[in-house]
């Protein structure tokens, strides 16, 4: 092999380089131009969804507050770290919608001008999450809305270091995210708080169900906690554990799991799966000819699309936002404005991030009332600890808004309405309701 | 561990194995003849599934037309990559072409997959091939689409094998695979042979993508794991061997992966597969090197 | 400002990855896409130890690097005999195994990984806890500089020369006496250790170790950085790391549209960027061997390559006595090589049947015979490139059958190749320098049993001695090049030389090994008569220098000119022996040799 010709050949790219650079540049430019219109469709419809500032103030009980108390004109940076790309981008999109709607309505109601600073953790990429947190910290952002339990914990060190008050309305704290400084979960613990509702539902509707299998995805050391909590819930309802099956997030092939379930033959299955995974699971379970009733911990429309008709009998128990039955006046306002703004029905992810922006506003108002610095994450957290309660679109009734209450030690929600739902062809239908700990369980008529 | 469970897992292994066989055969053909690390195989895989899915809904074409569309997209993309990206790059890279082609392939895949996401969003789509129904044979059950997958995979592999063994094009391809320099001397044009090989490999790849999309779902990262398995299977089968041997290697991988579920939790199954691969590679040189040396006595010494 | 420090920090950490990968891929030619997986071993080791037993930063760092290095050594063992494609496959397997293990073992955090229990602290060095990006800059600069210096020292030295020889032609390197396996193990171990180091740094910087931090895509990213920066160029690796790492933040600042779309577009541009950039500059940003330092020091190297006068000069410097050669008693007997009953079968074919051969010291013997007689096979068997089935081979009285080719070469029997096999991407001078070594049996003279630059301990710890040995080697190599008349092309890549010149280079490097017995495979074939004459003179001169030579030749003219004894070989067996005159006068042999004329 002669290196002279090789050397000569390597000179050729230099001759063609300018052509290639132009080609590349043209491609990139074309791309940007092509994407811009597509982007523009999605580019921050920052509307309030047809709701006026007065309506918001009225429903939240803020009439009569002056501009200063509401924080009018203040500029506030709110970080928001979501799964914008990757397999979980469904969540990022919907959660972002909720936040955008909230921020627009807050401004219209005389609240501060909240700037949402979007960061992408690429669906549970730890490095991206750590980096995003660092960037927000460097930028002096005092508060963050996170997801995926602080990007599976990657954000914990950063939010503590930079003292950024972080609310996670997507994953909450789950089991492994509790008691972390500056990190607070704004929903029930998944899946532990769901167990009791599912088991009680089966107990009430089908006493023949005795042996229940738990299919859950790997959370490392938290697995043991999950299993123990499941056993505790079983003890309460008098059912027993048939088997436990471990899966991984993002798993698409459940043939091994299904075959093991066939062997252990449970009366019912509790499925702790996230994202589209339940869709794949149900598809394969049903196609294996198994008719075992399944209650899961999550529902997204994407999963239903994947499963197709296999999802018909899928049920789930969680702190779901039910658009069919908005419980209080604020929920109604949220529902109508969301539909108007996004042409979609809202669900849990949108609702949580929507109300969490209002929680941030609440904290800002409290800090202002104390004469403090709203741009200090520390002061925001102190305001939270002093009164760990916020208004919520969940629960309540009529003009009595719902409330979410947090535990100042574990940093997770102690009060949250949950329910059991049937997937019902894309419009989940509530069949039971219960509270955290299984309190007030009742079947829906 | 019951007989039923073993049987069920074996069936699952055959199904997965057939899929691995198909992607392995397509990838192996390309790798064996052109020597290119065609990572963008994942992109062809994904695009084919997306085109089929989009043609079905919302474009509303009947299923066979959608499939044809998807396969055409795969072939066109595969040929375009070879013609416009790999070939000029190989000429320019000289000794390091293996590596530069790999990198450019990687870049294409990243760009392509995200373009697909931009165009059609990351929300999962589906492909309707056959009505989804469970099929029960005794205590074993599988889905109708899985039966289609197994049948289609082996039909395609056999067809490819037949093409390679009995057609003129196939003979030229096999000549180029065995000894490219000699083939060139004998007047076979490697450029057009490479294009044919990419067309054939991409055809198989596209078919695999459509089947996978129908079996699971169509989403942007669907090609990443298959291309990894295609690579592994192609090597296990041997890049100079025919598609049927490669296919059997794929079947073997699928069975190992599936049956490992009898002994370990499913999360460990990929560990089992790669450990088996590792052990094979540790033992591999001992068997084949002497063989190769004996086949080529005129060469100055066995190459490592 | 911290924003930019943050980016710089990541560039520095990835430079450690890219530089070490360059040593492995660019210099040694071992393609690995498992580099981030070794980072995982380092990072998880540090994470586990600091969480379980509260190990502080420095011990955790060392533990992580050593753990990864050890794993690299383990991976290298099966890799030693694999061809490049299979090596890539092995690295994929290793990467997947490592990630599967760390991602599933609950003690290592399972799928979610491990969060750091405390930040990095450089104590006993000052600086306190490293929390904010600007605090990390100096330490990371130091780590990157350390990596660069060590890898540079290894790469641009006699050690690196052997690595590049392994890259270019492993078999030829082994035939020249380089213990290729040992070098590979060392390089894998050291580069993996550096990857582990970078992995620990990444863990402390991000305060989390998880499979997504060290996934296959990260390995591919590091690989892209190395290729794109330029194989065989460490400065290029830093540049490559910077470009790849900067692409995303740059795009973030430029492309300002809806965040969801923006991130996707960034990735598209990143992917296209990789493809276009590697097309525009396939050899990488900085070509091999390019160095600012080198560019500022032209004078020294040019002095060495003065044009030669006569091709064969008798002013050859006295060869330094080969030190520590064992078995001196039999060294001066008249038979330097004694072969008895050598046999080798390939399946049903006997390539070699009870072959007997005696080579007289200081004489030229020729091995002739029809095609397919097995002549080159004999060379392969003698030098250990092929394993014989039976018989004995005694070199200077010592049995060498079954020894590795590099061992035999170091014991004084070397061979040239029919198709020359020069190291094409190395200069003629470097080719010759590869053959030259100063042998020693000191225990730390490993892996090659030499002193000087090829010896890692000497290279890193005794720079003066190494420099001296290197200069000496340089001079001797130039002398051999002058002898063969190629001093004026000393700095030319061997691949750019004509075939005849390459043959001369290969002879020069054989001479450089100081081996007593040279097996030359068709020395005069494939070149025109002008060159043939030159080579014949050279071979005859080699005899004058005291070498023993055995040539395989087809040309009767050459054999007549050179050979003292001729062995006639048919179907794997020596059937006649004598002078060329005796053999050609035998009618049967003449017919066998010339075939049906």
The reported pLDDT for the residue numbered C458 is: 75
pLDDT over 80 at B39, yes or no: yes
pLDDT for C308-359, tens place per residue? 333 443 333 334 334 334 444 444 678 888 888 888 888 778 888 888 888 8
Chain-centroid distance of CA C256 in Å reads 48
Q: Is the pLDDT of residue C297 over 60?
A: no
- Test C111 with A3 for CB contact under 8 angstroms: no
Q: Domain map of chain C by residue range?
A: 2-214, 306-330+439-489, 335-422+497-594
Which residue of chain A comes nearest to B140, CA vs CA? A288
For residue B218, pLDDT beyond 50: yes
C 469-508 near A (Cβ less than 8 A) = 493, 495-496
Strand pairing category for C364-368 and C548-552: parallel
Say yes or no to pLDDT of A92 above 60.
Answer: yes
- Which residues does chain B have within 8 Å of residue A83's beta carbon, measured at their own beta carbons? none
Out of A81-90, C179-188, C261-270, pick the least confident: C261-270
Nearest to B274 among C97, C349, C376 (CB): C97
DSSP states along C230-263: -TT-HHHHHHHHHHHHHHHHHHHHH--S-HHHHH
Cβ neighbours for A18, distance < 8 A, ≥ 6 positions apart: none
Look at residues A275, A323, A272 and name the one whose alpha carbon lies nearest to residue A303: A275
Chain B CB within 8 Å of residue A310 CB: yes
Q: What digits encode the pLDDT tens for the residues C487-542? A: 899 899 998 999 888 999 998 999 888 888 999 988 888 888 888 888 888 888 88
- Interval C361-398: pLDDT, tens: 888 999 888 777 778 888 888 988 888 888 889 988 88
* Residue A23 in this model has a pLDDT that exceeds 60: no
Supply the CATH classification number for the domain B3-300. 1.10.3470
Give percent above pLDDT 90 in chain C. Answer: 30
The average confidence (pLDDT) of chain C is: 84
Q: Which fold has domain A192-318+420-443?
A: Rossmann fold (3.40.50)
User: ω into residue A105 within 30 of 0, thus cis?
Assistant: no
Contacts of C273 in chain A (CB under 8 A): 24
Neighboring chain C residues of A2 at a CB cutoff of 8 Å: 495-496
Strand partners, B292: none
Paired residues of A163 in beta bridges: none
| DSSP state for residue A260 in the 8-state scheme | H
- CA-nearest residue to A130 within chain C is C206
CATH number of A53-188+326-411: 3.40.50.2300
Q: Are strands A294-296 and C398-399 parallel, antiparallel or unpaired?
A: unpaired
Domain boundaries, chain A: 53-188+326-411, 192-318+420-443
Predicted local confidence at residue A36, as pLDDT: 39
B181 touches chain A (CB under 8 A): no
3-state DSSP assignment of residue C130: strand
- The span from the CA of B260 to the CA of C431, in Å, is 51
Name the pTM for this structure: 0.87
Q: Do the beta carbons of residue B133 and residue B144 sit within 8 Å?
A: yes
Question: Across the interface, do C3 and A139 touch by the CB < 8 Å criterion?
Answer: yes
Distances (CA, A) of C304 to A103, C452, C478: 74, 20, 7
**Candidates A23, A24, A92; nearest CB to C260:** A92
Mutation for A interface: C260, C264, C271, C282, most A CBs within 10 A: C260
Question: Do the Cβ atoms of C220 and B106 come within 8 Å?
Answer: yes
Which pLDDT does position C165 carry in this prediction?
A: 92
Alpha carbon C407 to its chain's center: 16
Give percent of chain A above pLDDT 70.
90
A241 touches chain C (CB under 8 A): no
> Is A276 an interface residue toward B (CB < 8 Å)?
yes
Q: From the CA of C488, how many Å to the nearest CA of chain A?
A: 18
Q: Which CATH class is domain C335-422+497-594?
A: alpha beta
- Cβ–Cβ < 8 Å for A271, A234: no
Highest mean pLDDT among B80-84, B185-189, C336-340, C362-366: B80-84
pLDDT bin (cut points 50, 70, 90) of residue C259 is: low
Q: Do A192-318+420-443 and A53-188+326-411 have the same topology in CATH?
A: yes
DSSP C435-466: H---B---TT-TTTSB-STTSHHHHHH-HHHH
């Amino acid at each position: 092999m002669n290196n002279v010709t090789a050397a000569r050949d390597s000179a050729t790219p230099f001759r063609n380089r300018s052509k290639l650079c132009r080609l590349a540049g043209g491609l990139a430019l074309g791309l940007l131009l092509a994407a811009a219109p597509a982007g523009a469709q999605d580019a921050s419809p920052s509307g309030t969804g047809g709701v006026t500032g007065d309506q918001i103030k009225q429903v939240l009980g803020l009439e009569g507050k002056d501009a200063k108390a509401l924080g009018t004109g203040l500029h506030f940076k709110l970080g928001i770290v979501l799964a914008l790309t990757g397999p979980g981008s469904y969540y990022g999109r919907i959660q972002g919608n909720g936040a955008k709607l909230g921020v627009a309505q807050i401004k219209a109601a005389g609240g501060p001008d909240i700037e949402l600073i979007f960061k992408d953790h690429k669906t549970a990429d730890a490095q991206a999450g750590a980096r995003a947190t660092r960037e927000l910290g460097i930028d002096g952002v005092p508060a963050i809305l996170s997801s995926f339990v602080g990007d599976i914990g990657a954000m914990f060190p950063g939010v503590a270091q930079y003292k950024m008050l972080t609310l996670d309305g997507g994953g909450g704290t789950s089991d492994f995210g509790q008691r972390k400084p500056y990190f607070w979960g704004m929903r029930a613990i998944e899946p532990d708080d769901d167990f009791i509702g599912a088991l009680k539902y089966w107990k009430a509707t089908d006493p023949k169900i005795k042996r229940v299998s738990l299919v859950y995805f790997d959370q490392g050391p938290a697995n043991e906690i999950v299993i123990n909590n499941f056993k505790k819930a079983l003890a309460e309802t008098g059912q027993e554990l048939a088997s436990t099956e471990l899966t991984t997030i993002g798993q698409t092939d459940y043939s091994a799991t299904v075959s093991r379930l066939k062997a252990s033959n449970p009366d019912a299955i509790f499925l702790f799966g996230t994202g589209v995974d339940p869709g794949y699971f149900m598809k394969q379970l049903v196609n294996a000819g198994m008719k075992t009733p399944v209650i899961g911990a999550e529902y997204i429309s994407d999963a239903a699309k994947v499963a197709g008709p296999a999802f018909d009998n899928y049920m789930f128990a969680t702190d779901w936002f039910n658009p069919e039955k908005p419980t209080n006046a604020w929920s109604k306002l949220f529902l109508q404005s969301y539909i108007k703004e996004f042409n979609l029905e809202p669900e849990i992810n949108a609702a949580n991030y929507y109300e969490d922006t209002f929680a941030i506003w609440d904290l800002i108002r409290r800090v202002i009332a104390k004469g403090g610095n709203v741009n200090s994450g520390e002061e925001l957290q102190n305001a939270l600890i002093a009164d760990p309660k916020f208004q919520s679109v969940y629960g309540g009734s009529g003009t009595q808004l719902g409330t979410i209450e947090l535990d100042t030690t574990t940093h997770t929600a102690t009060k949250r309405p949950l329910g059991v739902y049937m997937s019902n062809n894309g419009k989940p239908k509530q069949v039971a309701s219960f509270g955290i700990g299984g309190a007030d369980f009742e079947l829906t008529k | 561990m019951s007989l039923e469970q073993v049987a069920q897992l074996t069936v699952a292994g055959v199904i997965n194995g057939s899929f691995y066989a198909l992607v392995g055969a397509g990838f192996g053909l390309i790798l064996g003849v052109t020597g290119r690390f065609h990572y963008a195989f994942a992109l062809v895989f994904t695009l084919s599934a997306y085109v089929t899915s989009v043609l079905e809904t919302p474009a509303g074409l009947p299923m066979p037309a959608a499939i044809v569309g998807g396969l055409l997209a795969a072939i066109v993309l595969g040929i375009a990559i070879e013609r416009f990206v790999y070939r000029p790059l190989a000429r320019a890279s000289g000794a390091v072409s293996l590596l530069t082609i790999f990198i450019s392939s990687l870049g294409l895949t990243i760009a392509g997959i995200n373009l697909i996401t931009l165009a059609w969003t990351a929300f999962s789509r589906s492909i309707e091939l056959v009505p989804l129904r469970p099929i029960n044979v005794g205590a074993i059950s599988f889905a109708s689409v899985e039966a289609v997958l197994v049948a289609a995979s082996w039909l395609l592999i056999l067809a490819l094998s037949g093409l390679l063994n009995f057609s003129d094009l196939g003979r030229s391809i096999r000549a180029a695979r065995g000894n490219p320099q000699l083939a060139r001397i004998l007047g076979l044009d490697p450029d057009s042979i490479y294009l044919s090989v990419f067309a054939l490999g991409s055809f198989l790849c596209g078919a695999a993508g459509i089947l996978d999309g129908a079996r699971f779902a169509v989403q942007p990262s669907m090609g990443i794991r298959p291309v990894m398995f295609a690579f592994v299977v192609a090597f296990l089968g041997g890049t100079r061997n025919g598609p049927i041997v490669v296919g059997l290697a794929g079947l073997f991988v699928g069975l190992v992966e599936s049956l490992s579920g009898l002994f370990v939790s499913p999360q460990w199954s990929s560990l089992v597969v790669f450990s088996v691969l590792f052990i094979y590679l540790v033992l591999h040189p001992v068997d084949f090197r002497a063989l190769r040396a004996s086949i080529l006595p005129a060469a100055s010494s066995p190459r490592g | 400002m911290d924003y930019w420090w943050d980016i710089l920090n990541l560039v520095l950490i990835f430079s450690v990855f890219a530089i070490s990968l360059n040593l492995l891929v660019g210099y040694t030619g071992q393609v690995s896409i498992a580099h981030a997986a070794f980072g995982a071993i380092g990072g998880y080791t540090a994470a586990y130890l600091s969480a379980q037993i509260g190990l502080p930063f420095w011990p955790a760092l060392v533990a992580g690097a050593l753990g990864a290095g050890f794993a690299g050594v383990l991976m290298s063992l099966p890799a030693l005999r694999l061809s490049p494609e299979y090596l890539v496959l092995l690295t994929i397997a290793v990467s997947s195994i490592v990630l599967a293990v760390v991602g599933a073992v609950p003690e290592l955090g399972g799928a979610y990984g491990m969060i750091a229990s405390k930040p990095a602290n450089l104590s006993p060095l000052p600086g306190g806890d490293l929390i904010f990006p600007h605090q990390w800059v100096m330490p990371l600069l130091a780590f990157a500089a350390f990596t660069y210096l060590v890898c540079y020292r290894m790469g641009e030295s006699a050690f690196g020369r052997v690595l590049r020889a392994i890259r270019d032609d492993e078999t030829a390197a082994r035939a020249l006496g380089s213990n290729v396996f040992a070098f590979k193990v060392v390089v894998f171990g050291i580069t993996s250790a550096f990857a582990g180091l970078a992995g620990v740094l990444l863990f402390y910087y991000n305060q989390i170790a998880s499979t997504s931090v060290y996934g296959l895509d990260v390995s591919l990213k590091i690989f892209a950085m190395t290729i794109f920066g330029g194989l065989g160029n460490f400065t290029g690796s830093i540049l490559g790391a910077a470009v790849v790492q900067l692409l995303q933040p740059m795009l973030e600042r430029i492309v300002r549209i809806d965040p969801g779309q923006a991130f996707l577009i960034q990735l598209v541009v990143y992917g296209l960027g990789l493809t276009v950039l590697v097309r525009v500059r396939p050899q990488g940003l900085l070509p091999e061997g390019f160095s600012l330092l080198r560019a500022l020091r032209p004078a020294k190297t040019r002095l060495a390559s003065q044009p030669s006068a006569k091709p064969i000069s008798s002013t050859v410097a006295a060869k330094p006595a080969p030190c520590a050669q064992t078995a001196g008693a039999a060294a001066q007997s008249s038979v330097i090589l004694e072969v008895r009953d050598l046999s080798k079968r390939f399946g049903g074919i006997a390539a070699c049947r009870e072959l007997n051969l005696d080579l007289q010291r200081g004489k030229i013997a020729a091995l002739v015979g029809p095609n397919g007689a097995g002549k080159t096979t004999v060379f392969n068997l003698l030098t250990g490139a092929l394993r014989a089935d039976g018989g004995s081979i005694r070199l200077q009285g010592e049995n060498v059958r079954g020894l590795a080719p590099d061992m035999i070469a170091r014991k004084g029997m070397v061979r040239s190749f029919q198709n020359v096999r020069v190291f094409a991407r190395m200069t003629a001078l470097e080719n010759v320098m590869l053959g030259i070594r100063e042998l020693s049996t000191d225990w730390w003279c490993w892996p090659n049993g030499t002193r000087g630059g090829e010896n890692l301990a000497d290279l890193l710890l005794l720079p003066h001695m190494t420099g001296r040995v290197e200069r000496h080697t340089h001079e001797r190599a130039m002398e051999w090049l002058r002898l063969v008349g190629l001093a004026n092309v000393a700095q030319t890549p061997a691949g750019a030389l004509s075939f005849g010149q390459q043959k001369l280079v290969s002879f020069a490097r054989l001479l450089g090994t100081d081996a007593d017995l040279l097996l030359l495979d068709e020395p005069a074939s494939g070149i025109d008569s002008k060159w043939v004459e030159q080579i014949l003179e050279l071979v005859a001169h080699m005899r004058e220098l005291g070498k023993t030579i055995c040539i395989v030749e087809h040309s009767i003219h050459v054999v007549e000119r050179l050979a003292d004894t001729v062995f006639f070989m048919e179907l794997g067996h020596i059937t006649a022996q004598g002078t060329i005159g005796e053999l050609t006068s035998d009618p049967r042999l003449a017919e066998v040799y010339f075939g049906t004329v």
